[in-house]
Amino acid sequence: MSPTQVLGVDIGGSGMKAAIVDPSAGTMVTDRHRIPTPKPATSESMAHVFHELVAHFEWTRPIGCTFPGVVRNQSIIETAANLDPSWVGVDAASLFGSAHAPVTMINDADAAGLAEMRVGAGKGRSGVVFMLTIGTGFGTAIFHDGRLLPNIELGHIEIDGVDAEELATSRAKKAEGLSTIEWAVRLERYLRRIEDMISPDLFIIGGGISKSFDQFAPLLHTRAELAPAQLRNHAGIVGAAMAAV
């Protein structure tokens, strides 16, 4: 096993996933292992799942881990909109880590964007790149000339007085039984709102729904270029590992 390998863990509202990653190459060197996110998604219950993932890989070396919320100093959780409120204020790096397996925490969209900017759809791109991960919630990240502005939470902007996550996430699509066309109309409204705010040059669309990019992208009309995350739903795992080195 290469000494440069890192265990990447990606925490989501519906699942917690992990794989061993080669951060320099931006590739997973094992299959992904997934365990459903516990309900309620408390810090205690999720710590148990985290350690199950680590035990699955028999891992005792550095770990990078995403979190769907604001993360300060690669450790302290400040928001947890789609998880349990018990997370707020938790030192996640201490909760998850040990002397033999130190943990670096990073916002989930920041991690996905980091991977895409280094080895994916954003590689070599200048200007403003907006990373959007679509799943249970919206994860957002902004890069300018390749540099990350961390902890950008633009998934909760209001559209007609309604939180955008309630309108156009994968969760909303499933809950309301929206057709792809109906859902794309809502997603386009969100993307256009982002364009009015920050005028990105490129949108990178990630998350589980990115595998269907070719089906819904032609329905979207934006000024900025649209591209699917090249690492698809693995971008978070790979970016988490990159953040730990």
Supply φ then ψ for residue 29, to 5 degrees: -105, 0
135 plus 92 within the same structural domain: no
| 10 is a domain residue | yes
105 plus 129 within the same structural domain: no
| 129 is a domain residue | yes
28 plus 74 within the same structural domain: yes
Residues forming beta bridges with residue 68, ordered by sequence position: none
User: Which two three-digit tokens encode residue 69?
Assistant: 């919320």
179 plus 144 within the same structural domain: yes
106 plus 16 within the same structural domain: yes
173 plus 205 within the same structural domain: yes
| 182 is a domain residue | yes
Residues forming beta bridges with residue 141, ordered by sequence position: 131
Structural domains counted in the chain? 2
> Dihedral (C-alpha) 18, 22, 25, 29: value to the nearest 10 degrees?
-70
pLDDT confidence bin for 100, thresholds 50/70/90: confident
* pLDDT score of 2: 57
Task: Supply the pTM of this predicted model.
Answer: 0.93
80 plus 143 within the same structural domain: no
Task: Work out the average pLDDT over 20-29.
Answer: 97
218 plus 239 within the same structural domain: no
Q: Compute the distance between CA of residue 99 and CA of residue 139 in angstroms, rounded to an integer.
A: 31
Residue-wise burial string across 13-32, b where 16 or more C-beta atoms lie within 10 A, e elsewhere? bebbbbbbbebeebebeeee
Q: What is the pLDDT of residues 183-231, one digit of tens each?
A: 999 999 999 999 999 999 999 999 888 889 999 999 999 999 999 999 9
Which residue segment(s) compose the domain that 130 sits in?
Answer: 125-228
Q: Cα dihedral sign for 133, 68, 49, 14?
A: negative
**Looking at residue 84, which CATH number applies to its domain?**
3.30.420.40
* pLDDT score of 53: 97
| 52 is a domain residue | yes
| 116 is a domain residue | no
